[in-house]
Amino acid sequence: MSINTNYGSYAANYTNTIKKSDEAKNNKRAKESGVTTSTVELKTSTPGVTKTEQIKTGFTNINDYSKYLQDKYSYMNTGTTSMEGVPTTVSVSSAFLKKCMNDPEKAKYLEENLAAIPDCAKMAVNSCLGTLTSLSYQIDANGNITCISSGTNDPDGKIAKENAERKAKEKKAQEEKVAKRREEKKAEGEKAAKRRAEKSEVRKEPSEKLVKSKGTQNFTVSAVGTDVKTVTQNLVGISLNQSVFTEMSFDIKA
C-alpha cells in the first residue's frame, strides 16, 4: 500500500513538473516575441450569443500577424476560396492589419468579423434572389467592410449545379481535414503516453434556390458598413428588392 501511495505522489509531482516546464517555455517565447494572448468575448452572427476566444496582439511585423490570423481564418488574404459552393474572397487591408496587430480592441473587432464571415456567406447564398456566382468581403484601411455579390437567375440551372458540386467538394475537404486533425491528435496522445510510460514507468494508457426565367439576367450588388452580418443582410435586402438586376451600391456610413 505504501508503494502505491509513493508512486502516486511521484506521478503527480512529475506531471506538475512537466506542466510548469511547458508553461515556462510558452511564457518565455511570448516574452521574447512581445506577443500577448488575451481571453475575450467575441460577438457571433447569432444575436445575443458570444463565444470565449483567445486573441493575440503585440506582433512586431504584419507578416507574423497575418500568419497567425490565417492559421485561424484560412480564407483571409489567400485568394479565392469556396463558401457554400460560391467562389469567395476575403481581403483585409495591410494598413488595417498594422493598426490591429498592437491594438486589442481593433484586433477583437477584426476577429469578430472574420469569424462571422462563413455564416454570413451562407445567409447570402440562401437568401439572395437568384444564384450567386461570386462573393467578396473587403476590409479597408479604416476597418470599413464592403460586401459584393454577383449572380444570375440561372434559368437552366447550370451555375446552381456547379455551386452544388463545389459545395460537396468543400464539405468533403472539411471532413478530411477534421479526420486528419483527429488522427494527428490521436498520434500525439499516443506519443505523449509512451513518453510518460518510459519516463515514469506508467502503463500506457458541417438548399440552394433556383429562380426560373425566360432569359438570363446577371446582377452585381454591394453594401458597406462596419459589421459583417449587417452588411450581408443589407446586401440580401438590396438583391431581393430588385425586379430587374442592375449593378448598384448601398453604403452604410461607419
100, 98, 127: which is closest to 112 by C-alpha?
100
Look at residue 229 and tell me if it is in a domain: yes
Owning domain of residue 72: 34-178+206-251
d(CA 245, CA 218): 6
**What is the rounded average pLDDT of the residues 184-188?**
83
Look at residue 196 and tell me if it is in a domain: no
Look at residue 170 and tell me if it is in a domain: yes
Mean per-residue pLDDT over the chain, rounded: 78
Query: What residues contact residue 82 under an 8 Å CB cut-off, 6+ apart?
Result: 88, 166, 167, 169, 170
Query: What residues contact residue 76 under an 8 Å CB cut-off, 6+ apart?
Result: 66, 69, 70, 90, 91, 92, 114
Do 20 and 102 share a domain, yes or no? no
Do 4 and 83 share a domain, yes or no? no
Do 157 and 246 share a domain, yes or no? yes
Look at residue 201 and tell me if it is in a domain: no
Look at residue 186 and tell me if it is in a domain: no
Look at residue 195 and tell me if it is in a domain: no
Name the residue type at position 214.
Answer: K
Look at residue 216 and tell me if it is in a domain: yes
pLDDT-derived band at 116 (thresholds 50, 70, 90) equals very high
pLDDT-derived band at 23 (thresholds 50, 70, 90) equals low
pLDDT at 20: 56
Do 42 and 138 share a domain, yes or no? yes
Do 20 and 132 share a domain, yes or no? no
pLDDT-derived band at 9 (thresholds 50, 70, 90) equals low
Do 87 and 114 share a domain, yes or no? yes
pLDDT at 153: 82
Do 3 and 61 share a domain, yes or no? no
d(CA 113, CA 91): 12
Do 138 and 240 share a domain, yes or no? yes
Do 145 and 166 share a domain, yes or no? yes
Between 162 and 245, name the one with better pLDDT.
Answer: 162
Kindly state the cell numbers that stand for 191.
506519443
What does the pLDDT look like over 157-182, one tens digit per residue?
Answer: 677 777 878 878 877 877 887 888 78
Q: Do the beta carbons of residue 217 and residue 152 sit within 8 Å? A: yes
Q: How many distinct structural domains can be found in the chain?
A: 2
What radius of gyration do the chain's Cα atoms show?
24
Look at residue 191 and tell me if it is in a domain: no
Q: Do the beta carbons of residue 219 and residue 243 sit within 8 Å? A: no
Between 162 and 39, name the one with better pLDDT.
Answer: 39
Do 114 and 229 share a domain, yes or no? yes
Q: Do the beta carbons of residue 138 and residue 59 sit within 8 Å? A: no
Name the residue type at position 130.
Answer: G
Do 17 and 137 share a domain, yes or no? no
Do 138 and 151 share a domain, yes or no? yes
Among 95-104, 138-147, 193-202, which is the least confidently predicted range? 193-202
User: What backbone phi and psi angles, to 5 degrees, belong to 31?
Assistant: -65, -40
pLDDT at 235: 83
Please state the separation of Cα 224 from the chain's center in Å.
20
